[in-house]
A and B are shown apart, each in its own frame.
Chain A
């Protein structure tokens, strides 16, 4: 017999698939437009593999700490759960800081989203991912508050699990961004 929590998790997977399709559209758009630099800066000229690698590492580690937090939640241990999710949160914020710094460098160099179709596509794809990360961070904060103030029940554990799923999903999308955007851009 399916519990309501199982049903909610299943539905959340379905939602994640729809979000993936949304990202697919942005990826497809990026791939079609990535060479349309309109005599402006190209991927090769702009992207720093160092920054991209840093961002990747930050997210990968944050996925790991997120899993550790989830394990603690299953064991119903508040303090480790709070600790690991707090670290995940900080790593996520660090990711956003690196990303926003990268964006501001581009803007200062005249490579904003209005310069060419390639840059519009870049900012939209990476920016949408960043927006999702921000939503994930807000969700994580709320989860931290709930973990701190309320007891663990089956529905609350399921809710935190869905948040973790969302976070891992965003990490997966980032791996694709790293490959398609930064990796292929570097190889141009």
Chain B
């Protein structure tokens, strides 16, 4: 009796902890702060609920059947089983899958990294280069660059174009704003994100790329439009410049690079980085 009570209490505590954890704000996926991440969470919960429609009755049926028809139970009717039409069994999961498929098709288009976001504000372009083992961010329209840090205005579509240099396959992940996209040398991938409001977000590399993988993190910050412009002006006063030679040094392997600002970026740097690998 005591043993059973202990088991029930243990399971209750476990379930409670899980619920609390999911609600805690350390659980980045359940606390989206950008439009794309919100869409992705909504899709996840929709699909979970749809699946639970079948899964909960299945669990009930499973445990009920196992308990009722255990050999030590002499009482239940044991007539030969009624013939259940097998096609019906196939229809039950098929219906849910069809519904999920339709939802998934629509959502995959709506949340496509290639799809530009529209808002009142003019989109901001940032070019991202994955290096070993740090992230370089180039602002082509502002003529500045940063290392392991990006800042952008809230409620403004940010159009990221990503590539890599001297680094194997990388994945760019800013979970509170959106899902990942790979950054690969010689190739360009897009990602469109938009923050709901001001905030500080952590991002990291999500595809293993060597010894410095775990340290390849960055910070993203969204602020008001005025604060953003002030920040750009500040960066333009920074002592360091991203000349070609400075860039070539940067490509060399290093870990734990501190946040760095560059007041000047060499012309067409991103384009040249990508074309380095082309024929």
Chains A and B in contact, CB within 8 Å = yes
Chain A residues at the B interface, C-beta cutoff of 8 Å: 36-39, 116
Chain B, 257-279, CB within 8 A of any chain A CB? 279
Question: CA of A38 to CA of B279 in the docked complex: distance in angstroms?
Answer: 4
Chain B, 149-186, CB within 8 A of any chain A CB? none
Question: CA of A24 to CA of B279 in the docked complex: distance in angstroms?
Answer: 26
B278 nearest in chain A by CB position: A38
A118 nearest in chain B by CB position: B279
Please, which residues of chain A bring their CB within 8 A of the CB of B279? 36-39, 116
Question: CA of A9 to CA of B279 in the docked complex: distance in angstroms?
Answer: 48
Tell me the minimal C-beta distance from B275 to chain A in angstroms: 12
Q: How many residues of B contact A (CB 8 A)?
A: 1
Chain B residues at the A interface, C-beta cutoff of 8 Å: 279
Tell me the minimal C-beta distance from A49 to chain B in angstroms: 25
B277 nearest in chain A by CB position: A38
A38 nearest in chain B by CB position: B279
A37 nearest in chain B by CB position: B279
Question: CA of A116 to CA of B279 in the docked complex: distance in angstroms?
Answer: 9
Please, which residues of chain B bring their CB within 8 A of the CB of A38? 279
Tell me the minimal C-beta distance from B187 to chain A in angstroms: 13
Question: CA of A36 to CA of B277 in the docked complex: distance in angstroms?
Answer: 11
B279 nearest in chain A by CB position: A38
Please, which residues of chain B bring their CB within 8 A of the CB of A116? 279
Question: CA of A37 to CA of B279 in the docked complex: distance in angstroms?
Answer: 7
Question: CA of A36 to CA of B279 in the docked complex: distance in angstroms?
Answer: 7
Question: CA of A39 to CA of B275 in the docked complex: distance in angstroms?
Answer: 13
Please, which residues of chain B bring their CB within 8 A of the CB of A39? 279
Question: CA of A186 to CA of B279 in the docked complex: distance in angstroms?
Answer: 21
Question: CA of A116 to CA of B277 in the docked complex: distance in angstroms?
Answer: 12
Tell me the minimal C-beta distance from A40 to chain B in angstroms: 8
Question: CA of A35 to CA of B37 in the docked complex: distance in angstroms?
Answer: 39
Tell me the minimal C-beta distance from B186 to chain A in angstroms: 11
Please, which residues of chain B bring their CB within 8 A of the CB of A36? 279
Ordered by A's residue number, 5 sampled pairs between the chains whose C-beta atoms are within 8 Å are A36-B279, A37-B279, A38-B279, A39-B279, A116-B279
Tell me the minimal C-beta distance from B69 to chain A in angstroms: 43
Tell me the minimal C-beta distance from B141 to chain A in angstroms: 32
Question: CA of A84 to CA of B279 in the docked complex: distance in angstroms?
Answer: 49
A36 nearest in chain B by CB position: B279
Question: CA of A39 to CA of B279 in the docked complex: distance in angstroms?
Answer: 6
Tell me the minimal C-beta distance from B105 to chain A in angstroms: 27
Question: CA of A82 to CA of B170 in the docked complex: distance in angstroms?
Answer: 60
A39 nearest in chain B by CB position: B279
The 3 closest A-B pairs by CB, nearest first: A38-B279, A39-B279, A37-B279
Tell me the minimal C-beta distance from B35 to chain A in angstroms: 36
Please, which residues of chain B bring their CB within 8 A of the CB of A37? 279
A35 nearest in chain B by CB position: B279
Tell me the minimal C-beta distance from B30 to chain A in angstroms: 40
Tell me the minimal C-beta distance from B279 to chain A in angstroms: 4
Question: CA of A37 to CA of B278 in the docked complex: distance in angstroms?
Answer: 10
Tell me the minimal C-beta distance from B276 to chain A in angstroms: 12
Question: CA of A134 to CA of B76 in the docked complex: distance in angstroms?
Answer: 71
Tell me the minimal C-beta distance from A122 to chain B in angstroms: 16
Tell me the minimal C-beta distance from A131 to chain B in angstroms: 29
Question: CA of A36 to CA of B186 in the docked complex: distance in angstroms?
Answer: 13
A116 nearest in chain B by CB position: B279
Tell me the minimal C-beta distance from A115 to chain B in angstroms: 11
Tell me the minimal C-beta distance from B184 to chain A in angstroms: 15
Tell me the minimal C-beta distance from A114 to chain B in angstroms: 15
Tell me the minimal C-beta distance from B4 to chain A in angstroms: 55
Question: CA of A38 to CA of B276 in the docked complex: distance in angstroms?
Answer: 11
Tell me the minimal C-beta distance from B162 to chain A in angstroms: 22
Question: CA of A97 to CA of B279 in the docked complex: distance in angstroms?
Answer: 33
A117 nearest in chain B by CB position: B279
